[in-house]
Amino acid sequence: MNWDWDYVGSMMPDLLDGLWTALLATIFGFLLALVLGLVFAILRRSKTAWIRVPIGFIVEFIRGTPLLVQLFFLFFVLPDFGVQLSPLASGIVGLGVHYATYTSEVYRAGIDGVPAGQWEAATALNLPARRTWTSVVLPQAVPRSLPALSNYLIALFKDVPQLVAITVAEPFTVARGIFADSFRPFEAITMAGVLYLVTAFVLSYLGRIVERRYGTVRV
């Protein structure tokens, strides 16, 4: 098959629009995963069983079911209960909640890595629980978690093409529409893949910068 650069040039604006949508899903989905994952990790350490056990079940349930099933539930099932989300919003929530179960385990490992002496010192100083977490535990746990968290950012980005199932116009959705009209899948699918590859490299590079700058524990 001959590669047609003119054809590639004509499709690039639409593919770049799709890439922008993919980046929105990635950024907001990952922010949701970071925040919700931290909440899960803290609640799972609760001494109260009626908090710890249900949260643990929710985390394991979400982590044990496919992302695609969760996306279908958000987009096609929730409207039956009066909750209507746009395709992009469904994708952001689906990616964010799904990856929050993984980031919660990353945070858990970081929290477990805080020396016992730090917890004991906070107790000896009679610090309230909120102050212990914000001033003692998290400043040490989060930097330890950064390398693994950056890996999940890339993993989340690579799962964005699954949003094609709920009609989010990310690059592969756009590419599929292009070659459905032109019957030329080679250029469309290849360029969509190239956009994902280049963007993944950029995200990985930015992740390493963040790791170098903020990944050192200061005590």
Domain-located, residue 219:
no
Domain-located, residue 53:
yes
**Domain count for the chain:** 1
Domain-located, residue 208:
yes
Domain-located, residue 30:
yes
Per-residue model confidence (pLDDT) at position 78: 93
161, 196 Cβ separation under 8 angstroms: yes
Per-residue model confidence (pLDDT) at position 219: 55
Q: Could you tell me the pTM of the whole model?
A: 0.90
Q: Which stretches in the chain have pLDDT values below 70?
A: 1, 217-219
Instruction: Return the CATH number at 109.
Output: 1.10.3720.10
Angle, in degrees to the nearest 10, between helices 185-214 and 138-159:
170
Domain of residue 56: give its range. 5-214
